[in-house]
Amino acid sequence: MKVLMVSPFPPLRDGVGKYAAQEVAALRRDGHTVDVLAPLACAAHYVEDFKRPWLGLLRLRKYARRYDRVILQYQPAHFHLHAWGPSRALSNLWMAIAFRTMRKLVVVCHEVEYPPEGRTRLRPEAQLARLAWRWARHVEFHTTHEIDQMEGQLGVRPRRAELRDHGKYFSPAVREDKMQARRRLGLDETTPLLLCIGFIQPQKGFDRAIRAFRRVSGEAKLVIVGSVSAGTPEQRGYVNHLHDLASSDERIDIQERMVSDEEFDRWILASDAVVLPYRLIWSSGVIERAHLLDRPAIVAAAGGMPEQIGSSDTIVLDEDELAEAMAKVVGSGSPVMPLLMSAQEASDLVEIESRRRGTGEAALDRALQQLQVMRGVVPVIAPSERRVIGPFVDLVKRVMRRLLGWLLTPLLGQVNEFQRQTVEALRMIVEEQRRQATGSEERSPADGESLPAPRGEAEP
């Protein structure tokens, strides 16, 4: 059978790409001829930018004719320019026509973007998304949660919605036991090891793992291995935040780097448990690799994760349960410190931490750094940039802006001023605490560390 795989592909460091590469290899082993069509430049036989406004995913048709089967690994970011808005309506329209007219198409659904709550579900892009998934002839999901969520959010269930085993095509990249893996990674052979692995992004919730692990006593190690994919200020800010959180506990090691498939599996083999504290996820390839390599996982109950867990995995609902599950892996009887969640308790924690370090200076510095991160990542609200979609849309936008400008501009100004004042107030509190901690009148904010201007903020 001639198969066309539509997916990002290596050498891109992309989870869906790796997934597709393993499926391609498996299909070829079964005797099929497989070509790859990718939405961006990589080692695919064909490259087609499906995000272009004209025809979008309908461009797939000209390739599909030559194949007996077309497998589309669907992740919105690879096929649509925007998550929502007029351009998304257009690309959803092309997608709907493509899904309707291509009989040999199998869509493997890795993720779907749903409309925000409220009336926006009536907007054309939402209606067209609903139409596309209704018309899709054959869609495969990794969990029933994803099918249910589509039905709940879009009000549609593809006519042939099937489940596919996420790890069906996975094979181990290395064949080692735990001790061999640890030796090769230069790790201690006996210390219990908890592992977070994968791209470092806020939605992965690695910060939750750090906070929970800090409450687990005993000789153990938490290693976070992964890289930042896009390097946006938000992602950089998150990585800095992780380093900051981890700085007070020497047992936590953050290795910010890309790893090969072999090293990825080696880390899992070397671990005592893989921790997946995700906030937002559809389904996870990491948990499938943990199962493949026979390692237990501690899994946050997000997205379709509860369906993916195995008999040796532990599902957790919050950081308390996460800490308890970690403590169990580290060794029975490890005490878990009481949870500190209220403002007063959080404030107490700062004091305890400060005393532990001998001076309040270090903690305040970290708070100040966090403020800088905040100022770096919280954007100033402004009217959206002009994007030329078409002469008509552009004209409408300009007219609307003229009509509403007198109303919106002062409002946006007030919101931005509120945001600026909030950050400034927090900064002043931190400075005041610093002065109290050191007992001296130090440099004033004006002549000292000036915080970087937020993204997009104009100089006065």
Partner 1 sequence: MSWPVPGSLAFVCPRYGTEVLGGAETVVRGMAERLAARGLPVEVLTTCATDHYTWNNFYEPGEAEVEGVPVRRFKIEKGNLKRHKAIGELITAGRELSLAEQEAWLNESFRSAGLFHYLMDNHQRHHTIVLTPYMFWTSYACSQIAPHKNVLRPCLHDEEFARLSIYKSMFRDARGIIFNSDPEAGLAATLFDLPDNVEVVGEGLDVPVDASPDRFRQRYGIRDDFVLYAGRREWGKNVDVLAEYFSGFVHRARRDLKLVLIGRGEVDVPREIRSRVIDLGYVSEQDKHDAFAAATVVCQPSMWESFSRMLMEGWLGGTPALAYGGCAVTAHHVKASEGGLVYHDASSFEVALSILLENPRLRQTMGANGRQYVLARYQWEDVIDHLVDRISRWAAEGPVKGAA
Binding site for partner 1 (CB under 8 A): 10-13, 21, 24-25, 28, 36, 40-45, 47, 174, 184-186, 227-232, 257-263, 266
Q: Rounded to whole angstroms, how far apart are CA atoms 159 and 165?
A: 19
Minimum Å distance from CB 30 to partner 1? 13
Minimum Å distance from CB 46 to partner 1? 8
Minimum Å distance from CB 28 to partner 1? 6
User: What are all long-range contacts of 97-102, with beta carbons under 8 Å and residues at least 24 apart?
Assistant: 97/58, 98/56, 98/57, 98/58, 98/60, 98/61, 99/132, 99/133, 99/135, 99/136, 99/137, 100/135, 101/61, 102/60, 102/61, 102/64, 102/70, 102/137
Q: Which is nearer to partner 1, 16 or 136 (CB)?
A: 16
Q: Which is nearer to partner 1, 55 or 77 (CB)?
A: 77
Q: Which is nearer to partner 1, 257 or 455 (CB)?
A: 257
Q: Which is nearer to partner 1, 17 or 158 (CB)?
A: 17
Q: Parallel, antiparallel, or unpaired for β 221-226 and 193-197?
A: parallel
Minimum Å distance from CB 102 to partner 1? 23
Q: Which is nearer to partner 1, 98 or 252 (CB)?
A: 252
Q: Which is nearer to partner 1, 22 or 354 (CB)?
A: 22
Q: Which is nearer to partner 1, 43 or 400 (CB)?
A: 43
Minimum Å distance from CB 329 to partner 1? 22
> Residue 323: which of 435, 401, 210 has the closest Cα?
210
User: Which amino acid is located at 368 in the chain?
Assistant: L
Q: Which is nearer to partner 1, 222 or 309 (CB)?
A: 222
Record the tokens describing residue 332, joined without a space.
């029975």
Q: Which is nearer to partner 1, 49 or 111 (CB)?
A: 49
Q: Which is nearer to partner 1, 124 or 231 (CB)?
A: 231
Q: Which is nearer to partner 1, 266 or 427 (CB)?
A: 266
Minimum Å distance from CB 10 to partner 1? 5
Minimum Å distance from CB 429 to partner 1? 33
Minimum Å distance from CB 223 to partner 1? 11
Minimum Å distance from CB 227 to partner 1? 6
Cβ atoms of residues 164 and 140 within 8 Å: yes
Minimum Å distance from CB 391 to partner 1? 26
Q: Rounded to whole angstroms, how far apart are CA atoms 292 and 250?
A: 31
Minimum Å distance from CB 245 to partner 1? 23
* Residue listed under structure tokens 């230069």: 186
Minimum Å distance from CB 65 to partner 1? 20
Q: Which is nearer to partner 1, 198 or 303 (CB)?
A: 198
Q: Rounded to whole angstroms, how far apart are CA atoms 288 and 268?
A: 11
